[in-house]
Amino acid sequence: MFTDIVDSTRRAAEMGDQNWRRLLDNHDQLARHIVERHRGNLVKSTGDGILATFDGPGRGVRCALAFSAAAKQIGLPLRSGLHTGEIEVMGRDIGGIAVHAAARVMAKSGAEKVLVSRVVTELVARAGLKFGNRAVHELNGLPGRWGLFAASG
């Protein structure tokens, strides 16, 4: 799962460094709490977002939805993207095509949206999550066209 604060650079410039830093600290604390609550692993902060992994795609989707709702309450619109696949563990970081795919899915998302790849929807069938068709996209650097779906609780 990748998340990103929408319009973070503009907001940081408007707020000033100290106020922005306080808001980012709140964001990071919220991220740690919500990822932990969903039994995830917070891999790293990306400065204005996070990268996290989960032992199942359903927990990842539920975490993204919860994090988006909580961040909205503190005035931070998030965009999120999820994909599932094999990853390479590199010390405390991760890599691999699945990580690149998740980042590209997030890049197609909008404010307060959680987008997932088709494979995520297939793996969480009948898990109580809902997905609206978001369309087919090319993901920068990845072959083929990808079906992306907007998640909701």
Question: Structural domains in the chain?
Answer: 2-152 (3.30.70.1230)
The pLDDT of residue 123 is 95
Query: In which residue ranges of the chain is pLDDT below 70?
Result: none
Please give the Cα distance from 61 to 55 (Å, whole number): 12
Burial degree of 29 (CB within 10 A; 0-12, 13-18, 19+): exposed
Instruction: Kindly report the three-state secondary structure assignment for every residue of 109-130.
Output: CCCCEEEEEHHHHHHCCCCCCE
Please give the Cα distance from 152 to 128 (Å, whole number): 10
The pLDDT of residue 125 is 87
The pLDDT of residue 127 is 87
The pLDDT of residue 106 is 97
Please give the Cα distance from 57 to 64 (Å, whole number): 11
Question: Contact, 25 vs 15, CB < 8 A?
Answer: no
What phi-psi label fits residue 50: left (phi over 0), alpha (psi between -120 and 50 degrees) or beta?
A: beta
Q: Where are the alpha helices (DSSP H) in the chain?
A: 8-15, 17-37, 57-73, 97-108, 118-123
